[in-house]
Amino acid sequence: MIFRPRFHKLFSKTLAMFFLCGLAVGVFAQEAWAASEISAGDTAWILTSSALVLAMTAPGLVLFYGGMVRGKNVLGTMMHSFISLCVVSVVWVLWGYSLAFSTDIGGVIGGLEWFGLNGVGPEPGQAAPTIPHLAFMVFQLMFAVITVALITGSIAERMKFGAFLLFAVLWSTFIYSPLAHWVWGGGWLGELGALDFAGGTVVHISSGVAALVCALVLGKRHGYGKDTMAPHNLPFTVVGACLLWFGWFGFNAGSALAADGIAASAFVTTNTAAAVAALTWMAAEWVYRGKPTVLGAASGAVAGLVAITPAAGFVGPMSSILIGIGAGVFCYLAVLWKNKLGYDDALDVLAIHGIGGTWGAIATGLFASVGGGTGLFFGNPGQVVTQIIAVVATWVFVLVGTFIILKIVDGIIGLRVTKEDEVLGLDLSQHNERGYISS
Amino acid sequence: MIFRPRFHKLFSKTLAMFFLCGLAVGVFAQEAWAASEISAGDTAWILTSSALVLAMTAPGLVLFYGGMVRGKNVLGTMMHSFISLCVVSVVWVLWGYSLAFSTDIGGVIGGLEWFGLNGVGPEPGQAAPTIPHLAFMVFQLMFAVITVALITGSIAERMKFGAFLLFAVLWSTFIYSPLAHWVWGGGWLGELGALDFAGGTVVHISSGVAALVCALVLGKRHGYGKDTMAPHNLPFTVVGACLLWFGWFGFNAGSALAADGIAASAFVTTNTAAAVAALTWMAAEWVYRGKPTVLGAASGAVAGLVAITPAAGFVGPMSSILIGIGAGVFCYLAVLWKNKLGYDDALDVLAIHGIGGTWGAIATGLFASVGGGTGLFFGNPGQVVTQIIAVVATWVFVLVGTFIILKIVDGIIGLRVTKEDEVLGLDLSQHNERGYISS
Amino acid sequence: MIFRPRFHKLFSKTLAMFFLCGLAVGVFAQEAWAASEISAGDTAWILTSSALVLAMTAPGLVLFYGGMVRGKNVLGTMMHSFISLCVVSVVWVLWGYSLAFSTDIGGVIGGLEWFGLNGVGPEPGQAAPTIPHLAFMVFQLMFAVITVALITGSIAERMKFGAFLLFAVLWSTFIYSPLAHWVWGGGWLGELGALDFAGGTVVHISSGVAALVCALVLGKRHGYGKDTMAPHNLPFTVVGACLLWFGWFGFNAGSALAADGIAASAFVTTNTAAAVAALTWMAAEWVYRGKPTVLGAASGAVAGLVAITPAAGFVGPMSSILIGIGAGVFCYLAVLWKNKLGYDDALDVLAIHGIGGTWGAIATGLFASVGGGTGLFFGNPGQVVTQIIAVVATWVFVLVGTFIILKIVDGIIGLRVTKEDEVLGLDLSQHNERGYISS
Amino acid sequence: MKLIEAIIKPFKLDEVKDALIEIGVQGMTVTEVKGFGRQKGHKETYRGTEYQIDFVPKIKIEVAIPDNLEQKVIETVSRAAKTGSIGDGKIFVCDLGSVVRIRTGETGECAV
Amino acid sequence: MKLIEAIIKPFKLDEVKDALIEIGVQGMTVTEVKGFGRQKGHKETYRGTEYQIDFVPKIKIEVAIPDNLEQKVIETVSRAAKTGSIGDGKIFVCDLGSVVRIRTGETGECAV
Amino acid sequence: MKLIEAIIKPFKLDEVKDALIEIGVQGMTVTEVKGFGRQKGHKETYRGTEYQIDFVPKIKIEVAIPDNLEQKVIETVSRAAKTGSIGDGKIFVCDLGSVVRIRTGETGECAV
Ligand SMILES: Nc1ncnc2c1ncn2[C@@H]1O[C@H](COP(=O)(O)OP(=O)(O)O)[C@@H](O)[C@H]1O
Ligand SMILES: Nc1ncnc2c1ncn2[C@@H]1O[C@H](COP(=O)(O)OP(=O)(O)O)[C@@H](O)[C@H]1O
Ligand SMILES: Nc1ncnc2c1ncn2[C@@H]1O[C@H](COP(=O)(O)OP(=O)(O)O)[C@@H](O)[C@H]1O
């Protein structure tokens, strides 16, 4: 290999920088590596689950969303999910995890003592006593990632790439971390007794509501309501939905944080709700439009997966059927409402995640019967109230917070691409690439 | 969100219905949640395996089959697999599992005491003492799902969607559940000593033979033998084959129902047979047609996976090489026979699953040497006889049963789309959608 | 089924052959199946990891590479990865594993006593005392597979299929097995104290350097530097990168050979380095070319995964950030160098795997601090020297060995397709198939 | 010489091609096009939105022929492409000033 | 009769089609093409290599019309397809010797 | 004015385009087509079934030019597209009644 001068300089400078940084790491590193009582079985399951949740974002959402846009935006849309994975992975190990899960400050946020994963090591942490703390951390990381990635469905086909990067950093830090803290990190909602098995409020309501705000602030795509904006590659979308289903077992059954009966139960309710919701949405469309669509069935499955998320480990399989039916009906109606109300949530994040998550959170208050939760139908009407409080708090916090963040990003970078860039497509205008080259 | 009157009514009605159903569930629920001796390691493996088997159907078969049809039928074909997952998931938790695995009635069928998973909980069941009963149930569910999905390869490009839905319910109930009972649920074939490690008879012979019946009853596709019916997207098919291979580790190694030496052994024989069969099919084609094809290699791999299925935990790795060679040769010949015989099993389900499964079931009787089985070459000639009985019984039962079910569905709904709908393609005629939109 | 004479004969001949082989297997089989102290949790994790590493090759590389070539070569390129899986799976169980891991001969190679997996059974082996020996074997098999598959990126769009098959057998036997032995099988590099957690030298440097030799010996593609050779389907490539990331958790965290704190730590460093490298490559391109590309981000992620491979279980998360930055910068520069130097490593295997692996191996000597390794910045300067020895030895051995193998294959079969076949495309010229059929 | 351009239904391509070969046509060029005409298109539905698609997939065949074959080719295409239902397509005929076979440089009728 | 061939920007297709229907055109055939002209193409970058792409996606519309509609069609297409920026495209007009409707066998002006 | 239509081998497109630019042609339109001619197609095999594919991928170039360029364009395309082996393609020349540049409304030779 010939080192040409120009690169050579760059190379040696970079190398020098590495040496300095490396020394710093060496000197200050205090990562303790103690032995501890870890269950290999539980650890195997949580590591597997973490990989499964990663697969939900990439390639799950990459395909699910990527197939639904027009061909000229396929890469830009796939990139949204992919880069969310990259950006949030870094944010989370630097400060996000600490803000969400380290010592509680006033019920609303964690501290910074785990900044840079300082003190987060291979020994078990508090939250999950039978698995390495780092395994719990990375499992949670995958949740932080997918929440941001989900939002990108609403900004599709028109947001500036740079603006999205900044948005992802801010939103993850100031919206996701606090929310995760409220429910799972020792914050006020968890204290209140709100039940959220795997992220109905934290992940789905929050992404759905953020998506609504994004759609309203960004405005409609050029040609919306006039041009055909049909999905360019539905096979991708179907495959994406399949991968979401596949990965969701890690999301929900992994949230048991152990390979036990609760995990198995959550696995079963997850599968059942998804299946039922797919059939319900399909049936609703069949009745209302005359034909059962493939996109409808795929959308329904995702809606069912969303709705069962907060309930997965708290309800029995028969309840999951009812939750699935509700998801199919309510989310399909929400898509129809969108068309009437006229905001351009391009890929229906609000309708599926916002509404599905809201229904799931409330349904948890109705049907909870196992794993430590008890709902209305099992004699505890108070749980519904708690759930509604959690839902409302999440909606309000995300509505306001996302709006502020968007305004900041708009001020610094500007949110939307120019009309010419939009007509040309994000692939060429933002990335100098095309998805498909035929010759 | 503005609730327009019309939707509002629908909404409140739906809600009211939920309250009533919910109360019912709450009052009658008797889901016992006792602690029990569960192995976290085994549970982790079976939950993982269940997810892997799901991935075989969706997105595995979705892509494998979806790529092999013409572009105008891509969504309809993908939908077949996807909706099989949805329909059979519901059938199985309601009554299918109970029919297959609850207390034996006369050796031929289970009872209904586990209807709606009543009594199936997080504690271990009889079949697998170290994992939650629900985990065993859902692992079996994935087998029930894929068996129906496999059949859809033969009905591709011409069956009415509604007819398929009804067929899936009936076939799963009246063919799959009894068969699973015969072999694994305490039925007569298991009693007889038939060896079927992971479903050679139950899954593969049954789907392959059902596919033959479907092809004969439905008749040929319009233009068959005249028009080019080449696969529209072989990359999808190759990726589907890869995902089938990936998921098959859950299918076969998961069938050890524990993370132990048998599981590892089944994992190795599975991989070996797939590799050998792919090379064999490819070589056969190279000799016979002059070129090694990619579709041939992918098909061979699937044939090898099929053939090793009943044998996986019963044979050593060297035997799996011979089983793989047999799979490559016999299944390739079966495809050539199809072309001579002229029935239109569109995606060769009989040739690959029926013939591959039959060869595997008999080969198990020849090569079994470990994990509790002993075959002809290891001193137990009787095993081959038992295997042949199992094969013949399965062929006959499925041939007759599938024929009756098809006739019933034909009477109620009609099996085939009209010629115009077939020429237009299932995507538009059945679902009002197109797979790819170029502008 | 009607057996026509011609097939019938073939059938009975084949059957007879099977009986003979089967008897031989039955008589000589000495596969001992003893009980042993296996951890179900560790076994679950290694079996899962083996499946994950398989997914890296197929469908990971299948898509990653398949999307990057021109449409007329999509199947040929996918086939390269797929058939590597098949060929190396067979080579490995027959003699490859034995050469790499059975009793050491002079520090450079293993013996043949495990030929045909003789003596490799369900009881634990020496290398990994808590999992079945077969599980360790198959986990290693997946590494042997992907190493060969990685090389195929450099020979894309112009190598004869038959020549590649022979190359795969020879290279796997004479290059990969010895290298694996040197580092992990008791050979001289392991003895020397070289650190390679999951295959920086064995897998990545070796495939990258082999790719360079292939590119030089095969020569440039017809039209290189003049025609547009842009990727025909970047969505495939993005999805492939996602699947590589997903599977790499098995590759790196699985290399802990247990589901413990080291596995969790390797999981976290893997994810972090990938994310950081993706962002770094993207940023470099943004600065240098004016636009952040999607292919750049995907390539960066893979580069980060490569670089962290040898270090994964030896470094802390903050060090993995620096390793990721280095990977993004160095591998991007290496791609630019390629364009200046002018050799045609079609899909940049050297730049990403060779350079990324080299950087990772050296970085391991700098940043190692946990899991038994100590690097320069943590007080052990000698480790860097050891690492450099390992790197140089690997480069030299692979350079020379690959060159010799290519010359042999060239002599026997010839390496390149004719110019007409190249212009027509490998799909039609080598396999008689086309990837996409539009009507 | 004439250039005959025929718009036909895609699944009729093989039949038309075979019929043309039979009457001695030795070459043609085929393009995938979308047609709009009396044949109404179809409705598509995606996530609750209905789209009316007016354009129907068609195949365009171009054949260059010597003048004397004009009637025969028109008749042949008409017969082979006809289904009798709406959307069967059109045939257009243009005059060709000249024709060149690139490989040989031949021009005129012997080049078609 | 005339065959009008118009090369336009893809996102103008719906507008042009609607405008033509309004003036009574009952059929047309549309092809996806790539155009090269004064409108410069764009740069693409793949793994460190830059490609200059000269061809821009365009739509070709073909309409067969009776002679008397020629001016009207040209004006209509010009108006509907115009954005005023470079790359708006071209209209070409050829003579048509004859036209046949395959379904009915009609020829001449009533067949267009 | 003339409309020159050339059917060529796909990998010759860049060469032909560059050659045309050199002689002053300022625009052209390109379509992906499939050709049938003396060049035989190829065999494809899918799961034991063999298909004879008669159509070969080709590129169609359309260039509108003033009459005086006709010979030059034909010669240029012939030279640049020639490989000497079968399947090199054809050139067809039609008369153009009129040409309009949509953006400016210019017509005639200055519009090509
Ligand atoms: N005036 C026209 N100019 C160009 N193409 C036309 C014209 N009229 C019809 N076509 C083409 O012919 C096809 C069939 O025409 P259509 O009106 O649907 O059926 P039919 O010819 O049976 O009345 C159309 O899809 C279109 O491609
Ligand atoms: N001489 C020509 N022959 C054929 N097509 C042409 C010719 N000139 C232009 N075109 C077509 O018209 C399109 C627009 O032309 P261009 O020169 O880019 O813009 P404008 O017409 O606004 O000057 C081109 O992309 C090409 O498809
Ligand atoms: N009569 C024709 N009409 C229209 N296109 C033709 C005609 N003859 C040939 N072509 C086109 O020219 C291409 C090359 O013709 P072919 O006969 O294969 O080779 P050659 O021109 O070298 O004899 C064909 O693929 C077809 O697209």
Letter string b/e over residues C363-397, b meaning 16 or more CB atoms within 10 A of that residue's CB: bbbbbbbbbebbbbbbebeebbebbeebbebbbeb
Express each pLDDT in A394-403 by its tens digit.
999 999 999 9
Q: How far is A433 from chain E (nearest CA, A)?
A: 5
Task: Enter the tokens of residue B176.
Answer: 């799959």
Q: Which numbered atom of ligand 1 lies nearest the CA of D90?
A: 12
Residue of chain E whose alpha carbon sits nearest to that of A428:
E44
pLDDT of residue A439: 59
**What does residue B153 show for φ and ψ, rounded to 5 degrees?**
-60, -25
Q: What is the DSSP string of A337-395?
A: HHHHH----TT-HIIIIIHHHHHHHHHHHHH--STT---GGGT-THHHHHHHHHHHHHH
Q: How far apart are CA A318 and CA A131, in angstroms?
A: 31
Contacts of C302 (CB under 8 A, 6+ apart): C64, C241, C244, C245, C274, C352, C356
Q: If you average pLDDT over every residue of chain A, what do you get? A: 93
Contacts of D11 in chain B (CB under 8 A): 223, 227, 423
Point out the residue among B1, B83, B86 whose CB comes nearest to the CB of A337: B1
Strand partners, C436: B233
Residue B362 has pLDDT above 50, yes or no: yes
User: CB of A261 within 8 A of CB of B122?
Assistant: yes
Enumerate helices (H) and strands (E) in chain A, giving the number of each: 19, 2
pTM score over 0.90: yes
Mean pLDDT rounded to a whole number for chain B: 93
Helices (H), C223-308: 234-253, 261-289, 294-308
- CB of C411 within 8 A of CB of B273? no
Q: Do A223 and E45 touch (CB under 8 A)?
A: no
Is there an atom of ligand 2 within 6 Å of F1 CB?
A: no
Burial of E43 (0-12, 13-18, 19+ CB in 10 A): middle
Dig out the tokens for C51 from the structure: 């499946």
Q: Is the pLDDT of residue A86 over 60?
A: yes
Q: Is the beta carbon of F103 within 6 A of some atom in ligand 2?
A: yes
State if residue E64 touches ligand 1 by the CB under 6 angstroms criterion.
yes
CB contact under 8 A, F102 and E37: no
**Which of B289, B329, B349 would best serve as a mutation to test chain F binding (most F beta carbons within 10 A)?**
B289
Overall average pLDDT of the A111-126 stretch: 96
Which of the residue ranges A150-159, A211-220, C108-117, D45-54 would you say has the lowest mean pLDDT? D45-54
CA distance B47 to C40: 13
**Mean pLDDT throughout A413-439?**
95
Instruction: Choose among C244, B74, C270: nearest CA to A59.
Output: C244
Return the number of CB contacts < 8 Å for C and F.
16
CB pairs under 8 A between A and D: 27
Q: How confident is the model at residue B269 (pLDDT cuts 50, 70, 90)?
A: very high
Least confident of B411-425, C32-46, C194-208, F13-27: C32-46
pLDDT interval class at D110 (50, 70, 90): confident
- The pLDDT of residue A337: 95
CA distances from D17 to A377, F9, F32 (A): 70, 21, 19
Nearest CA of chain B to the CA of D72: how many Å?
A: 26
Ligand 3 atom at minimal distance to the Cα of residue F60: 27
Name the band, by pLDDT with cuts 50, 70 and 90, for residue A393: very high
Residue C15 is predicted with a pLDDT of 53
Phi/psi for B425 (5° steps) reads 110, 150
Question: Which pLDDT belongs to residue C22?
Answer: 52
Residue in chain E closest to B439 (alpha carbons) equals E10
Alpha-carbon span B329 to B339, nearest angstrom: 16
- Give, as one character, the DSSP assignment of residue A205: I
CA dist., res. C389 & res. C377, Å (int): 19
Amino acid at C162: G
Summarised one tens digit per residue, pLDDT across range F46-57 is 999 999 999 999
In F41-53, which positions are buried (b, 16+ CB within 10 angstroms) versus exposed (e)? bbebbbbbeebeb
Does the beta carbon of E12 lie inside 6 Å of ligand 2? no
Predicted confidence (pLDDT) at residue B8 exceeds the cutoff of 50: no
Cβ separation D45–A291 shorter than 8 A: yes
By the 10 Å C-beta count (0-12 exposed, 13-18 middle, 19+ buried), A420 is classed as exposed
Which of F55, F70, F60 has the alpha carbon at shortest distance from F16?
Answer: F60
**Cβ density class C159-198: b for 16+ within 10 Å, e for less:** bbbebbbbbbbbbbbbbbbbbbbbbbbbbbbbebebbbbb
Set of chain F residues whose Cβ sits within 8 Å of the Cβ of C223: 11
Q: Give yes or no for a contact between A272 and B90, defined as CB atoms under 8 angstroms apart.
A: yes
Has residue E33 got a pLDDT over 70? yes
pLDDT attached to residue A293? 98
Q: What is the pLDDT of residue E40?
A: 86
Confidence of residue B307 (pLDDT cuts 50, 70, 90): very high
Q: In Å, how far is D36's CA from the nearest CA of chain C? A: 19
Asked if the model's pLDDT at residue A227 lies above 80, the reply is: yes
CA nearest neighbour of C324 among A122, A162, A93, A171: A93
Contact A428 E45 (CB under 8 A): no
* DSSP state at residue C220: P
Q: How far apart are CA C135 and CA B311, in angstroms?
A: 18
The ligand with the least distance to the CA atom of E104 is 1
Residue D111's pLDDT band (boundaries 50, 70, 90)? confident
Smallest CA–CA distance from E57 into chain A, residue: A424
- How many pairs of residues across A and F have Cβ atoms under 8 Å apart? 4
Write out the DSSP string of A62-95: HHHHHTTS-GGGHHHHHHHHHHHHHHHHHHIIII
Chains with at least 3 CB pairs less than 8 angstroms from chain A: B, C, D, E, F
Residue nearest to atom 7 of ligand 1 (CA): E27
State percent of chain D over pLDDT 90.
92
pLDDT number for residue F111: 85
**Which residues are CB-contacts of A305 (< 8 A; sequence separation ≥ 6)?**
A244, A245, A248, A252, A270, A273, A274, A277
Q: Give how far the C-alpha of residue B421 lies from the chain's centroid of Cα atoms, to the nearest Å.
A: 28
Optimal mutation site among C3, C50, C244, C432, interface B, most CBs of chain B within 10 A: C432
DSSP code at position F66: -
Q: How far is CA E107 from CA A129, D23, E23, F38, in A?
A: 85, 22, 22, 32
Choose between E108 and A183: higher pLDDT: A183
Q: Do C433 and F44 touch (CB under 8 A)?
A: yes
The residue to which tokens 């939109």 are assigned? B437
- Pairing relation of β-strands F42-46 and B104-105? unpaired
Work out the percent of chain A whose per-residue pLDDT is above 70.
92
Q: Are C370 and C317 in contact (CB under 8 A)?
A: no
Token pair 């010839």 is found at C414
Torsion sign across C-alpha atoms A298, A302, A307, A313: positive
Distance (Å) from the alpha carbon of F10 to chain A's nearest alpha carbon:
8
Nearest to E45 among A226, A423, A432 (CB): A432
Domain A44-431 has CATH 1.10.8.60: no
Query: Residue B21: is its pLDDT beyond 70?
Result: no
Any ligand 2 atom below 6 A from CB of E77: no
| Residue spans of beta strands (DSSP E) within chain F | 2-8, 28-36, 42-46, 49-53, 56-65, 90-95, 98-101
**Contact between chains at D47 and A295 (C-beta distance less than 8 A):** yes
- Measured CA to CA, the distance from residue A74 to residue A408 in angstroms comes to 27
pLDDT tens, chain C, 439 aa long: 233 334 445 455 555 555 555 555 544 443 444 445 899 999 999 999 999 999 999 999 999 999 999 999 999 999 999 999 999 999 999 999 999 999 999 999 999 999 999 999 999 998 999 999 999 999 999 999 999 999 999 999 999 999 999 999 999 999 999 999 999 999 999 999 999 999 999 999 999 999 999 999 999 999 999 999 999 999 999 999 999 999 999 999 999 999 999 999 999 999 999 999 999 999 999 999 999 999 999 999 999 999 999 999 999 999 999 999 999 999 999 999 999 999 999 999 999 999 999 999 999 999 999 988 999 999 999 999 999 999 999 999 999 999 999 999 999 999 999 999 999 999 999 999 999 998 5
Which segment of C306-310, D57-61, F104-108 scores lowest on mean pLDDT? F104-108
E36 Cβ inside 6 Å of ligand 2: yes
Instruction: Please tell me the distance from the alpha carbon of residue C203 to that of residue C84, in angstroms, as a whole number.
Output: 14
The conformation of residue B221, written as its DSSP 8-state character, comes to P
Residue-wise DSSP of C317-371: HHHHHHHHHHHHHHHHHHHHHHHHH----TT-HIIIIIHHHHHHHHHHHHH--ST
d(CA C179, CA C108): 8
- What span, in angstroms and rounded, lies between the C-alpha atoms of D29 and D20? 12
Q: Is A339 on the interface with D (CB under 8 A)?
A: yes
Residues with Cβ within 8 Å of residue D102, at least 6 apart in sequence: F6, F8, F77, F78, F81, F82, F88, F89, F90, F91
F27 touching A (Cβ < 8 Å): no
Q: Is F10 on the interface with A (CB under 8 A)?
A: yes
Give the separation between CA C74 and CA C62, rounded to whole angstroms: 9
Instruction: Give the closest-approach CA distance of C268 to chain A in angstroms.
Output: 6
What integer pLDDT is reported at residue A33 of this predicted model?
A: 40
Q: Two tokens at A421? A: 């860039």
Nearest CA-CA distance, residue D103 and chain B, Å? 31
Question: Pocket of ligand 3, candidates F31, F36, F83: which has the most ligand atoms within 8 Å of its Cβ, to mutate?
Answer: F36
Of E34, E36, E86, best ligand 2 pocket probe by most atoms within 8 Å of the beta carbon: E36
Task: Give alpha helix (H) positions in A152-233.
Answer: 161-171, 177-184, 188-192, 206-218
Do the beta carbons of residue C104 and residue C17 sit within 8 Å? no
The shortest CB-CB distance from E47 to any of C228, C291, C295 is to C295
User: B293–C10: do the CB atoms touch at under 8 Å?
Assistant: no
Strand partners, D49: D46
pLDDT at B22 over 90: no
Ligand 1 pocket check for E27: Cβ under 6 Å: yes
Q: Inform me whether the pLDDT recorded for B30 exceeds 70.
A: no
- Buried/exposed code over A256-292 (b: 16+ C-beta within 10 A; e: otherwise): bbbbbbbbbbbbbbbbbbbbbbbbbbbbbbeeeeebb
Question: d(Cα A278, Cα B93) in Å, to the nearest integer?
Answer: 16
Q: Which chains are adjacent to chain C, needing at least 3 Cβ pairs under 8 Å?
A: A, B, D, E, F
Q: How many CA atoms lie within 13 A of C282 on its CB side?
A: 25
All residues of chain A having their beta carbon less than 8 Å from the beta carbon of residue E59 are: none
Written as one string, the DSSP assignment of E98-112 is EEEETTT--BGGGG-
**Is E82 close to F97, i.e. CB distance below 8 A?**
no
Instruction: List, as one string, the DSSP characters of B249-313.
Output: HHHHHGGGSSSSHHHHHHHHHHHHHHHHHHHHHHHHHHHHHSS--HHHHHHHHHHHHHHHTTTTT
